[in-house]
Amino acid sequence: AKDQGRNTYQFYTEGMQEKEMMRLELDKDLSEALANDEFVLYYQPQLNLDTGEINNVEALIRWQHPTRGLLSPVEFIPLAEESGRITEIGRWVVLAACRQLARWKGTACGHLRIAVNLSGRELEDATLVDHVRDALTTENIAPHMLELELTEEIFIQNIAQNRSQLSQLHQLGTRLAIDDFGVGYSSLGYLRDFPVDQLKIDRSFITNVTERHDDAVITRAVINLAHNLGIQVVAEGVETEDQLHFLQAHRCNLAQGYLISRPIPGAELEKAIREGALFTGQ
């Protein structure tokens, strides 16, 4: 069991002690991964349904592990959030996204805005704003080219503490997106209280949107809510043309999902966009 655990970081071992060992080992490996520059960002485009253009991409982290191959964030982000290592990883993500924006300047991707994911734990770091500002300045990037994706609970828990960080980020000029909208939390007041630029409808509503009446009703309601608040709305996890047509018919602004593209490395995305090789639904 130990060897298997070491091999996959799957915490299915029975003993608490063994589990704790595994966590410590993973945390140590994450720290080494930062030092050895083993993380990479993949980029997934969002298709503008009005224009057929791509103006936004989401950065999704992967771990190019020396022996275990390319690891998905679901295998290490939750533990990094628990251990606090996410603060350091998040700093790397923001800087790497800014570097990518700098590299794309003057290419077919020069107009693309990058969205990065921030977990609540990262917002607890009082130096986050300084870090984002420094990364933008160092790479000479206009702040509106960077969007921060945060899940709903961040707006609901510890509101007083998060509010100041978010308003500082807003003052800086970065954009703000609500990730996984519609799952888990029912409070909507934060949409009034925070300057939100984008709402991302969770994939769980989109997967069966053309078959399940309830999902269709909720998706339409969220699109209308966003529009009435003047917020851009994105559907996540779009995999079929039927889903895309539904979203187009109900005037969703943007679609993101495997139908358009899987998350891919920055150089690959630049090539695909330059060659007009991405699905645009037109």
Q: Which residues here bind ligand C2E, judged by CB under 6 A?
A: 44, 60-61, 72-74, 77, 86, 90, 93, 116-119, 179-180, 237-239, 257-258, 263
**73, two tokens:** 């964030």
Minimum CB separation from ligand C2E for residue 146, in Å?
13
* Cα torsion through 34, 39, 45, 46, rounded to 10: -40
Give the nearer residue to ligand C2E in terms of CB position, either 183 or 277: 183
DSSP β-ladder status, 198-201 and 175-181: parallel
**76, two tokens:** 């290490």
Give the nearer residue to Ca ion in terms of CB position, either 31 or 48: 48
Minimum CB separation from ligand C2E for residue 260, in Å?
8
Minimum CB separation from Ca ion for residue 275, in Å?
27
Minimum CB separation from Ca ion for residue 5, in Å?
25
Please choose, from the candidates 190, 191, 258, 199, the residue with its C-alpha nearest in 3D space to the C-alpha of residue 223. 199
Minimum CB separation from ligand C2E for residue 97, in Å?
9
Residue 51 CB neighbour total at 10 angstroms? 11
Which amino acid does the sequence have at 154?
I
Where along the sequence are the contacts to Ca ion (CB under 5 A)? 117, 149, 179-180, 236
Q: What residue number has its CB nearest to ligand C2E?
A: 257
Among ligand C2E, Ca ion, none, the one that 237 touches (CB under a kind-dependent 5 to 8 A) is ligand C2E
Among Ca ion, ligand C2E, none, the one that 258 touches (CB under a kind-dependent 5 to 8 A) is ligand C2E
User: Which conformational region is residue 57 in: left (phi greater than 0), alpha (psi within -120 to 50 degrees), or beta?
Assistant: beta
CA distance 174 to 167: 10
